[in-house]
Structure 1
Amino acid sequence: MNPLYTRLINLIVSRLVVISILLSLAVAMARSENSWANADINPQPLVWLAVVVGLLSVFYFTWLRMSTLYLVQGYVQLLGDVIAVTWLTYQMRDSAFPLAPLYLVIVFVAAMILPRIGTIAIGITCALAYVGLIMAFKVGLLVGGYAIVEQNERYLQNNPLLYVVAILALTVLGGQLAERLRRSDAELEAAARDLAQLRAFNERIVESVKSGLVTIDLSGRIVTFNRAAEEITGYRMKVVRNKHLRDIFGELDCNFEPERLPVTPQKDEFRRFEADCQAADGRTLRLGFAMSPLTSESDDITGYVLSFQDLTEIIKLEEEIRRQDRLAALGKMAAGIAHEIRNPLAAMRGSIQMLQSELRLDDEQARLMRIILRESDRLNRTIEDFLKYARPRSLQPVAVNLERLIGDTLSLLQHSSETRTDHEITLQSPPDLPAIVADSDQLKQVIWNLARNAIQAMPHGGKLSVTLRPLADQIEIRLTDTGTGFPKDNLERPFEPFNSNREGGTGLGMAIVYQIVSDHGGRISIHNRTDGTTGAEVIVTLPQTTGSPLLQNDILADSRRQLKRTPSGVPALSFSSSAMASKPASDTKSSEQS
């Protein structure tokens, strides 16, 4: 706020106070019977002046609120005061009530408001007004004025010459004071401006930092909460202010209790820790904190500063990297083992078949031969899964109608021997689902493995729902079942090979699914349902394009031409189990599921 504005407001208020005091003194002296009081004082001029000053105060205040010409208003108010004092001095010319000192007050106020030249101008105006009034009485232009002009013992305190000298002296001193005040105002304004800029700059720095910043007092209550902290946690500053730290972040760390921290700061005191916290929307976040003391200029600790970052995605990426390393190592091992087993297994199977054809076997021996051949076939399928995982073939991207592909795969699963009559499989898809560029055979493998897992998790029947949803530049495939859900240990490491809880399973199905989805640049996540229904939910997100840009353009162009000739699939697809059929042998080969 402009300091001149504040001083003008104070002048308006002070003027009202001074006129009220003068009016009270005049009334008291007029009614007093003491010898020192002048019983001839007429307070009526002061009454009129109080009324005028009140009206002018309203006018001055309104003008101040509507205009920023504060210096002009200062001149107008002070000149008005000079006129008012001169008029009042004339009206009370024959009274012993001393009014000339009011000129000194005007000069002093001018020094507080106006610049040096303005103060001198107002001081000279006061002196001329007073001298002019005296000369007017002396030459007879005005009648009366004995209390002002005559200089006897009674009115010695009203000696005009003394007042003129005092006015001029105060004018000179007021000019000096005005100059110093002007410099002080300029310096104060510059300092305030620099401070405001520094404060705004610091606020911009704090708000621009991508790490969350929280300051707390010694009792652990939140004082500040920057924008990054709001974005990470979902809480707003106005909500968390004055709340305890644990109300927002929970119990952070057993070593971090604001109430138990030392009140004497240490230069090397700096702590780092991690904690699981809950966001405003209920998500669980893994946050990494750094805490340091907040000290005052006297080195007294006044609180603590905590900076934190969201480590949730970083930890997921680290787990992803570790998983990839484990998968790569296991893949190399699986490839080596598969090659070492496959060759002697083929020789053994060939030898058994030759013996079976050349020897005369009884029923028990024939049964044992069939068991050996069947188990060798099972081992061969397991080895094929190993090789698919260890040495996946390169992608063959084509335009894929995802709804039709998934519908065909689910139809095959519906008519397989593993599906019961009380299994219900539904497919929901929007009518305008865009085509994607991907390897259709590998995507069939993904859907087959995931859907087969869901069917196996519902041994007594249930419902499998597959929902397709387009995103910005991706397609989401959501599979939801009403089965037994994933075991807890599988949720912790769901895509590691050889991680199976099902009897006879190799634990490579989910590992192959994960590898195929990753090769397509997609993501897969699994979790148990939290909507009050038992079962699991798998979400696969695939990009709409896979491969080089030139190949993508050619494939999508062919896809558009095919879509113009071929009608799109229905939005919702349901399968019933009333008609069961055997799945073709070419489609029965699939990986054992975890």
Structure 2
Amino acid sequence: MESRKTSYGQELKSGWFLPLRLAIFLIVVGVVLLTQQRQAAISTPFFIYSILTLVFLLSLALKLPSRMPRLTQFLVFLQIISEVIVEASIIKATGNITSPFTALFLMTIVSAAMSYQLIGTLLTATMASLTYGLVVLTGSEAELPRTLDLEFIKKIYSSNDELFYTLFLYICVFYLVAFVSGYLSQKIRSKERELRRASESLARVQLETDEILKHLHSGLITIDHFGRIIYFNEAAERITGLKENKIKGKNCLEVFADRMPQFSEKILSVLKSSQLESRCEITICDNEGEEIPIGISTSVLEDEVRGVRGVIGIFQNLTDAKKMEEKMRHADRLAAVGELSASIAHEIRNPLASISGSVEILKQELNPEGENQRLMDLIVKESSRLSNILTDFLVYARVKTPNFGKVEINRLVSDVIEIARNHTSYREKIKLRSESDDTTIYVSGDDEQIRQVLFNLVVNALEAIESDKGSVKIKIEGNSPIYTDQVILSVIDDGGGMTREVKDRIFSPFFSTKKEGTGLGLAIVRRLVDNMGGRIWVETSPHGGTIFKFTLIKYFKGMIRPEESEHDIEQEPLRTGASE
């Protein structure tokens, strides 16, 4: 029903002919009024017709056809009747059968075809025929019968050939025009409905296609054969940091030249060669200048007539995949280190202890002086340093399974701060403090391992401050809106910061920026955090300041313990110094 109302309203909106018909009638009536004496017979019906036409035009302006189709149909019906009466008046005033305005009936019949079906048009032709016949007969000498029958038609035929054939011809023309116009109007309406359904179906398919492309996780870009961007989906916007509404229609070489020249070169090379290229990896830069690895594959858009129409490029952000690959390589290295550490522990550590002990005994018995004393002290010192390296090595390779329990993190942080104040790297003018967003925060983890992580990070922060003054803060966030089921701990210092190269390698085993560092301190920290189900990362700048952040699982009653680590080997005790 709703579709019928809409269709009928749209059909009537095509009634641009209404003002045109009114203008034609004004001209015709003006001519008649100027040339004929019987003005009253025409002016009154024409006035009524004009009012009805204006009412109908007002209904179109108020969009009544779509809201009140029955009322609109009634108005159209009244207008057609009034129009036939006006036409009959004009014909009667201009010579009846000899009137040149008889063709006005044809305009009414055609007009009716634009509002009604074939049957309605034929009924209008019938009404025009009866009215025309009545006007012609009343203006002739023929005597009107009480009923229209065959005898009356024979009488007209025998008495006045001209009258009979004129009536017969015009009535045939009326019905012929009614049939043709009604049939064509019905066909046009049918085709319009089919076209409307096809358009709606096409729009629906286009919408569904747009939705699919819009919500793809992969970036999608399409360019035409001129190199202009014609499509850029939401994933492409997220990856590149560019908005479709700002770059659509522009040349891709101009858009991507500054931050991602490899991207535009790849797409344009496919456009020039018109050949499908295999998937490859390239690097682009985001708005902040950070490099983003992406994998891109391209295909050519072409048809049989115009040839190459453009290029489609599909690309993905490989940052997470690269991190996963690095994590897998890291795990493989850990496995190799674990096997190696098990084999060298007794082979190196025990003889080293024997060497160090023997030198101590020789020092006591020989009481060396000068160069001999210095050399023996060097042997003891380097033996101790090598023993520390082996200890860190074993701790890193063989972290024991965390003994998960309920840990109050504020108290633990306070204990770590007290221990750190007794460390050699602490200076009195360095402000060492903590900050928490709640008085009591519980996490699920190993108490000793959390202490070891925090202690190593705090000592690293103290050592990063080269001057006598500075600040180190441990920040505890237990009510983060992002990490709702985790607690974030941050160790913040205002030291010299680090370069991007150092930041990328800071958690790698055996990487250190210190002269006497083993390069295993932060690697151990990372393993401990990973084993407790957390994550650690660093935020820093070459201009100064570093923040080490890591997460721990928030404790709640009845929680399930995270999966235990594969390693379950005795852990070395907490050392009172950072190894990084």
Maintained 8 Å contact 2:283/2:291: no
CA deviation after TM superposition for structure 1 residue 423, in Å: 1.7
Question: How far apart, CA to CA, are the structure 2 residues paired with 1:302 and 1:41?
Answer: 71
Maintained 8 Å contact 2:277/2:297: no
Letter in 1 for 2:367: L
Maintained 8 Å contact 1:397/1:439: yes
**Pair 1:505 & 2:517 matched:** yes
Greater shift after overlay, 63-72 or 326-335?
Answer: 63-72
- CA deviation string 1:247-306 (max 9, x = no partner): 478543447349965777836467644332325x88654333333334467344444333
Letter in 1 for 2:546: A
Residue of structure 1 equivalent to 2:130:
128
Question: How far apart, CA to CA, are the structure 2 residues paired with 1:283 and 1:158?
Answer: 93
CA deviation after TM superposition for structure 1 residue 331, in Å: 4.0
Residue of structure 2 equivalent to 1:111:
113
Q: 1:61 and 1:296, CA in 2 relative to 1: closer, same or farther beyond 3 A?
A: farther
CA deviation after TM superposition for structure 1 residue 428, in Å: 0.8
Q: 1:206 and 1:259, CA in 2 relative to 1: closer, same or farther beyond 3 A?
A: closer
Question: How far apart, CA to CA, are the structure 2 residues paired with 1:288 and 1:75?
Answer: 67
Residue of structure 2 equivalent to 1:484:
496
Q: Give the TM-score normalised by the residue count of structure 1.
A: 0.79
Residue of structure 1 equivalent to 2:567:
none
CA deviation after TM superposition for structure 1 residue 20, in Å: 1.2
Q: 1:172 and 1:361, CA in 2 relative to 1: closer, same or farther beyond 3 A?
A: closer
Q: 1:195 and 1:259, CA in 2 relative to 1: closer, same or farther beyond 3 A?
A: closer
CA deviation after TM superposition for structure 1 residue 201, in Å: 2.5
Question: How far apart, CA to CA, are the structure 1 residues paired with 2:120 and 2:36?
Answer: 40
Greater shift after overlay, 386-395 or 214-223?
Answer: 214-223
Residue of structure 2 equivalent to 1:48:
47
Q: 1:222 and 1:267, CA in 2 relative to 1: closer, same or farther beyond 3 A?
A: closer
Maintained 8 Å contact 2:271/2:300: no
CA deviation after TM superposition for structure 1 residue 194, in Å: 2.5
Question: How far apart, CA to CA, are the structure 2 residues paired with 1:411 and 1:30?
Answer: 114
Question: How far apart, CA to CA, are the structure 2 residues paired with 1:201 and 1:250?
Answer: 34
CA deviation after TM superposition for structure 1 residue 438, in Å: 0.8
**Pair 1:275 & 2:279 matched:** no
Greater shift after overlay, 398-407 or 367-376?
Answer: 367-376
Letter in 2 for 1:14: F
**Pair 1:592 & 2:566 matched:** no
Q: 1:463 and 1:222, CA in 2 relative to 1: closer, same or farther beyond 3 A?
A: same
Q: 1:379 and 1:546, CA in 2 relative to 1: closer, same or farther beyond 3 A?
A: farther
Residue of structure 2 equivalent to 1:544:
554
1:214 paired residue among 215, 221, 242: 221
Greater shift after overlay, 409-418 or 123-132?
Answer: 123-132
Residue of structure 2 equivalent to 1:85:
84
Residue of structure 1 equivalent to 2:570:
none
**Pair 1:319 & 2:323 matched:** no
Question: How far apart, CA to CA, are the structure 2 residues paired with 1:485 and 1:424?
Answer: 18
Question: How far apart, CA to CA, are the structure 1 residues paired with 2:413 and 2:207?
Answer: 57
Question: How far apart, CA to CA, are the structure 2 residues paired with 1:300 and 1:258?
Answer: 20
Maintained 8 Å contact 1:438/1:546: no
Residue of structure 2 equivalent to 1:34:
none
Residue of structure 2 equivalent to 1:10:
14
How does 1:51-90 map onto structure 2 within 5 Å?
51-62=50-61, 64-65=63-64, 67-68=66-67, 70=69, 73-74=72-73, 76-90=75-89
Structure 2, gaps ≥5 residues long: 146-155, 563-572
Greater shift after overlay, 386-395 or 80-89?
Answer: 80-89
Maintained 8 Å contact 2:437/2:476: yes
Maintained 8 Å contact 2:105/2:128: yes
How does 1:511-530 map onto structure 2 within 5 Å?
511-529=523-541
Letter in 2 for 1:161: F
Aligned-partner SS, 2:54: helix
2:367 paired residue among 361, 372, 383: 361
CA deviation after TM superposition for structure 1 residue 509, in Å: 0.6
**Pair 1:200 & 2:187 matched:** no
**Pair 1:252 & 2:260 matched:** yes
Question: How far apart, CA to CA, are the structure 2 residues paired with 1:524 and 1:294?
Answer: 45
Q: 1:474 and 1:260, CA in 2 relative to 1: closer, same or farther beyond 3 A?
A: closer
Question: How far apart, CA to CA, are the structure 2 residues paired with 1:535 and 1:413?
Answer: 19
Residue of structure 2 equivalent to 1:430:
437
Greater shift after overlay, 286-295 or 364-373?
Answer: 364-373
Q: CA RMSD in A?
A: 3.8
Maintained 8 Å contact 2:282/2:294: yes
Letter in 2 for 1:447: L
Greater shift after overlay, 130-139 or 491-500?
Answer: 130-139
Q: 1:278 and 1:368, CA in 2 relative to 1: closer, same or farther beyond 3 A?
A: closer
Residue of structure 2 equivalent to 1:475:
487
Residue of structure 2 equivalent to 1:332:
339
Q: 1:183 and 1:270, CA in 2 relative to 1: closer, same or farther beyond 3 A?
A: farther
1:169 paired residue among 176, 183, 186: 176
Q: Give the TM-score normalised by the residue count of structure 2.
A: 0.80
Residue of structure 1 equivalent to 2:450:
443
Residue of structure 1 equivalent to 2:26:
23
Q: 1:469 and 1:282, CA in 2 relative to 1: closer, same or farther beyond 3 A?
A: farther
Greater shift after overlay, 202-211 or 130-139?
Answer: 130-139
Residue of structure 2 equivalent to 1:349:
356
2:104 paired residue among 102, 105, 120: 102
Question: How far apart, CA to CA, are the structure 2 residues paired with 1:285 and 1:315?
Answer: 10
Question: How far apart, CA to CA, are the structure 1 residues paired with 2:313 and 2:283?
Answer: 13
Question: How far apart, CA to CA, are the structure 2 residues paired with 1:91 and 1:547?
Answer: 98
Maintained 8 Å contact 2:434/2:474: yes
Letter in 2 for 1:592: S
Q: 1:112 and 1:275, CA in 2 relative to 1: closer, same or farther beyond 3 A?
A: farther
Question: How far apart, CA to CA, are the structure 1 residues paired with 2:46 and 2:556?
Answer: 94
Q: 1:29 and 1:260, CA in 2 relative to 1: closer, same or farther beyond 3 A?
A: farther
Greater shift after overlay, 430-439 or 285-294?
Answer: 285-294
- CA deviation string 1:337-392 (max 9, x = no partner): 333210111222333344455x3424445665454334333322221111111211
Identity over aligned pairs, percent: 26
CA deviation after TM superposition for structure 1 residue 174, in Å: 3.5
Maintained 8 Å contact 1:212/1:228: yes
Maintained 8 Å contact 2:91/2:102: no
Structure 1, gaps ≥5 residues long: 32-37, 142-148, 553-585
Question: How far apart, CA to CA, are the structure 2 residues paired with 1:417 and 1:455?
Answer: 10
Maintained 8 Å contact 1:98/1:158: no
Aligned-partner SS, 1:372: helix
Letter in 2 for 1:169: L
Question: How far apart, CA to CA, are the structure 2 residues paired with 1:177 and 1:488?
Answer: 77
Aligned-partner SS, 2:474: strand
CA deviation after TM superposition for structure 1 residue 587, in Å: 6.4
Aligned-partner SS, 1:159: helix
Aligned-partner SS, 2:476: strand
Maintained 8 Å contact 1:3/1:185: no
CA deviation after TM superposition for structure 1 residue 156, in Å: 9.0
2:395 paired residue among 376, 379, 388: 388
Residue of structure 1 equivalent to 2:153:
none
Letter in 1 for 2:523: A
- Number of matched pairs: 540
Aligned-partner SS, 2:92: coil
Q: 1:272 and 1:547, CA in 2 relative to 1: closer, same or farther beyond 3 A?
A: farther
Greater shift after overlay, 394-403 or 294-303?
Answer: 294-303
